[in-house]
Chains A and B, each alone.
Chain A
């Protein structure tokens, strides 16, 4: 009887939802559709180095009031809930191991600093500081990384360097926070949760190629997740969230290939063949960029592609559409015929940026930033942004900005904006932002001095002899036209990151805090004891008996010995008694 009732209720509920969803589908008003697309682009950076870029994009429609629905189809709930809770408008996080060798590989189209870079935009109607720390902690949990170490004392609010990548209405007020951790090591424990955000995970599709053992045996590995809001209609009334997950990695074929063979394929690089496409994806393809110059064929494709594409004159792609299922369980790759002709396309904006440390002891030092514009015909408009942690005291009056070409460089014409915020211990770092123009074929140098701080015992990390990290400086080059291969090709700027710096601070000895406390207290006690002794002491003449007799009684009467003292004569008597 009771069982029957449950069955009847459950069948009723089932029927209700089935009908409801059918109605929804038919009338199509409140249906939210998530989408997923996957793509892998591979190309030779040099004779032996191969760049593989995985790009997974998921979208999710927002409600009319730009809020997240509670109805998730493909979009990861872990991200959606965080976004909702901390009023996040957009966030960008990158994990990087190794550094991009821009002299050989050309410009990095996905520029990232070493370690972790993390920045986000929040709804300005709420407390951004609180949301920022909340988001950092949550993201830290999602990606199993130490992002939660980016607290207020390590983060900043850039004014000119960063623009939101998403699209916003005019009435939307957003606020940004930026932080980076150059010390963060990136490894498989970050990749596994990252893959979990994909709808097919690594079971099917291009993500099936993500092989931990192979991916971390590379010269450069960068993994990122970008979440932005995108307009669907032209008036931007309806929006969707777009989560782009990218892995960009450079394989060293010289090391990987067994017999010195320069040819490469998915199997040689990832140790796997293509399984199938991810069934929920709307777009699933592998692209191989062929840099055939002068119409010669330097490559021989192992599998014939679905089609060839070419975006510009120089670049030509062989596109393998996985949705056609033609390439299941096959090996996609190239055999190199003419290896001498393979040269990377040196796309470069002609700007070199270095940041180095001056000084040689643990007392004081300085930073020297050199920015060299190699363009002969183009002045570059850039923004230099630097977060220097509070454990160095920057001297603002030591700032020197010079240019090799322009003598009077430090004026409004060249240095348009100069933002400086001094550090406060444990509260915020030194923030430096300069908007300037670097004239063609010249070098601009920024120099400033600092003192190294002496910190509290507890402020030193366990490995303080390694030094303290200063994250990469960000140089944003404005008014640039981007092309294929960039994350958001419509943007008009590109970033260049400097190398991070390690500063060695003078450290106290950690082995004997108790000894220090006791020694110091001993000195205090010694001081007190000596002073107490001096203040309470009374001097009395040492009168020997004989002299006393000679001089008579008058003098002894003059100086009556203190009542409670034992006079010298009494002492002698006592000695005699003994």
Chain B
């Protein structure tokens, strides 16, 4: 491809110095607002009990109960209330000796760090855009804008204010990708292992991480070496983390209580997914069969996704993050906020989407009905569980629409990238 045959690079005027300054101020204000709301108001207590924001495996209220049992010399996993990772217990054990302000600072810092690493990932994406191979570009990415969008996203704000422990998973997840881009196998695999340790399904990101790591290597032997090295490192770190947890608690009971709950869906507290209701209503003799079906469902997408998007590991990350958040057994708004923060990195895809306005409205409509339906069922008693279940289904459909539309937009754009002479022409598909 000759460079002069490409259409010129279009720069929108939104990375002016003034705009960048505005974004920086916004970011600082958003972080300060978080700190104040977390530390002074009672909002975290209210939001911490909302089913949309916290699940049994991310609720701070339940973590505190486990911590209380742990500090009083009881087995935190005995009662079945506390079903979270032991290292979080350790973290909060340290935090409990510090003033309350540190907890607020921790949550604010986590959100700030996620925004910072998203900024770094966006810089990688911008370099990609500017590289010869990836041109033409309609819109040049503004990395600071990605961070700002992450921080201003109401889903992120709500999730942070609810003090849900999803934020630690999100941070480690973003870190794993960041270090993979930096070609740091060790740290990348450590954070991938930590993320999987905190929320089981994150282990799928070793796929995109490996693709990032072997991106610049042409030699097959080297590629294979990196793949083997990273997988073995991942396993090593995962085993080490479980080992540390064992040393901390003195038993492997947490595996059954924590990963067991994730895999067997034994806690039927409502969340924004639909598995909780499915497994409430399912007949006992079908339960095991459907558990296998649903748990394998998330795995069957991994290999096709990796094969389909192996050229652009960042887009693969977006797809896989959205897969995890839609198919994990205890999804929450925090998981959705994570994959939504990757979408602004692909701003040029927006114009290729078939129905972005429709999808956006679908999202807003269904998410605003969630608390209403829950209220009707549990608080008013005028509705029943089906109301919430149906709106969860609608919300799921909205998510499916969003991700498939994004993938289609990506495919259309890929086509145009390969055949620049057909830009702006109608496309048929097969």
- What does the 1/0 interface line of A352-368 toward B look like (CB < 8 Å)? 00000000011110000
Query: Are A508 and B385 in contact, with the CB atoms below 8 A?
Result: yes
Partner of A422, one of B80, B283, B294, B404: B80
Excluding A430-B79, A523-B400, A541-B428, 14 further A-B contacts by CB distance (< 8 Å) are A394-B79, A397-B68, A422-B69, A422-B78, A422-B81, A507-B384, A508-B280, A517-B278, A519-B390, A520-B278, A538-B430, A539-B414, A540-B430, A558-B421
Residue A526, interface by CB 8 Å: yes
Residue A516, interface by CB 8 Å: yes
Contacts A509-B386, A513-B283, A523-B393 given; does A397 touch B64 at CB 8 Å: yes
Total residue contacts A-B, CB cutoff 8 A:
167
Contacts A454-B269, A455-B268 given; does A363 touch B379 at CB 8 Å: yes
Contacts of A568 in B (CB 8 A): 428
Contacts of A538 in B (CB 8 A): 429-430
Contacts A530-B400, A539-B429 given; does A523 touch B68 at CB 8 Å: no
Query: Are B385 and A509 in contact, with the CB atoms below 8 A?
Result: yes
Distance in angstroms from B113 CB to nearest chain A CB is 29
Residue A259, interface by CB 8 Å: no
Query: Are B430 and A423 in contact, with the CB atoms below 8 A?
Result: no
Query: Are A534 and B430 in contact, with the CB atoms below 8 A?
Result: no
Query: Are A454 and B270 in contact, with the CB atoms below 8 A?
Result: yes
Residue B351, interface by CB 8 Å: no
Query: Are B277 and A508 in contact, with the CB atoms below 8 A?
Result: yes
- What does the 1/0 interface line of A405-446 toward B look like (CB < 8 Å)? 000000000000000101111000010000000000000000
Residue B282, interface by CB 8 Å: yes
Residue B65, interface by CB 8 Å: yes
Query: Are A425 and B411 in contact, with the CB atoms below 8 A?
Result: no
Chain A residue total in the interface (Cβ 8 A): 54
Contacts of B283 in A (CB 8 A): 457, 513
Query: Are B428 and A537 in contact, with the CB atoms below 8 A?
Result: no
Contacts of B49 in A (CB 8 A): 363-364
Contacts A508-B277, A523-B396 given; does A559 touch B80 at CB 8 Å: no
Residue B125, interface by CB 8 Å: no
Contacts of B99 in A (CB 8 A): none
Alpha-carbon separation in the docked complex, A88 to B69 (Å): 36
Distance in angstroms from A461 CB to nearest chain B CB is 15
Chain B interface, >50% SS class: helix
Alpha-carbon separation in the docked complex, A105 to B274 (Å): 55
Partner of B266, one of A397, A425, A534, A565: A425
**Quick one: which of B53-101 are within 8 Å of A by CB?**
61, 64-65, 67-69, 72, 74, 78-81
Query: Are B326 and A361 in contact, with the CB atoms below 8 A?
Result: no
Contacts of B267 in A (CB 8 A): 454
Contacts of A236 in B (CB 8 A): none
Count chain B CB atoms within 10 A of each CB in A364, A535, A542 and give the residue with the most: A535
A-B CB contact pairs (8 Å), 28 listed: A362-B379, A393-B81, A394-B79, A396-B72, A397-B68, A424-B80, A425-B80, A453-B268, A453-B269, A454-B268, A454-B270, A456-B284, A457-B281, A513-B283, A520-B274, A523-B393, A524-B293, A524-B294, A530-B404, A533-B404, A534-B404, A535-B304, A540-B427, A540-B429, A540-B430, A541-B419, A542-B426, A559-B419
The 8 closest A-B pairs by CB, nearest first: A422-B79, A397-B68, A454-B268, A513-B281, A534-B407, A530-B404, A542-B428, A539-B415
Query: Are A516 and B389 in contact, with the CB atoms below 8 A?
Result: yes
Query: Are A454 and B280 in contact, with the CB atoms below 8 A?
Result: yes
- What does the 1/0 interface line of A528-562 toward B look like (CB < 8 Å)? 10110111011111100000000000010011001
Query: Are B378 and A363 in contact, with the CB atoms below 8 A?
Result: yes
Contacts of A457 in B (CB 8 A): 280-283
Residue B225, interface by CB 8 Å: no
Alpha-carbon separation in the docked complex, A227 to B68 (Å): 42
Contacts A506-B378, A528-B297, A537-B408 given; does A423 touch B79 at CB 8 Å: yes
Contacts A454-B270, A516-B277 given; does A362 touch B378 at CB 8 Å: yes
Query: Are B381 and A362 in contact, with the CB atoms below 8 A?
Result: yes
Alpha-carbon separation in the docked complex, A430 to B293 (Å): 35
Distance in angstroms from A544 CB to nearest chain B CB is 8
Distance in angstroms from A568 CB to nearest chain B CB is 6
Contacts of A539 in B (CB 8 A): 411-412, 414-415, 427-430
Contacts of A455 in B (CB 8 A): 268, 280
Query: Are A534 and B284 in contact, with the CB atoms below 8 A?
Result: no
Contacts of B408 in A (CB 8 A): 534, 537
Alpha-carbon separation in the docked complex, A239 to B55 (Å): 59
Alpha-carbon separation in the docked complex, A509 to B373 (Å): 14
Shortest Cβ distance from B307 into A: residue? A535
Contacts of B294 in A (CB 8 A): 524
Contacts of A542 in B (CB 8 A): 425-428
Contacts of B293 in A (CB 8 A): 524
Alpha-carbon separation in the docked complex, A350 to B400 (Å): 66
Contacts of B404 in A (CB 8 A): 530-531, 533-534
Distance in angstroms from A517 CB to nearest chain B CB is 6
Alpha-carbon separation in the docked complex, A559 to B418 (Å): 10
Residue A308, interface by CB 8 Å: no
- What does the 1/0 interface line of A380-411 toward B look like (CB < 8 Å)? 00000000000001111100000000000000
Contacts of B276 in A (CB 8 A): 454
Query: Are A456 and B297 in contact, with the CB atoms below 8 A?
Result: no
Residue B301, interface by CB 8 Å: yes
Shortest Cβ distance from B401 into A: residue? A530
Query: Are A456 and B280 in contact, with the CB atoms below 8 A?
Result: yes
Count chain B CB atoms within 10 A of each CB in A516, A530, A538 and give the residue with the most: A516
Contacts of A520 in B (CB 8 A): 274-275, 277-278, 393
Residue B397, interface by CB 8 Å: yes
Query: Are A565 and B430 in contact, with the CB atoms below 8 A?
Result: yes
- What does the 1/0 interface line of B383-405 toward A look like (CB < 8 Å)? 01110011001001100100110
Distance in angstroms from A448 CB to nearest chain B CB is 11
Distance in angstroms from B319 CB to nearest chain A CB is 9
Residue B362, interface by CB 8 Å: no
Contacts of B386 in A (CB 8 A): 509, 512, 516
Shortest Cβ distance from B286 into A: residue? A517
Alpha-carbon separation in the docked complex, A456 to B283 (Å): 9
Contacts of A430 in B (CB 8 A): 79
Query: Are B378 and A396 in contact, with the CB atoms below 8 A?
Result: no
Residue B355, interface by CB 8 Å: no
Alpha-carbon separation in the docked complex, A508 to B408 (Å): 38
Distance in angstroms from B299 CB to nearest chain A CB is 13
Residue A1, interface by CB 8 Å: no
Alpha-carbon separation in the docked complex, A58 to B411 (Å): 89
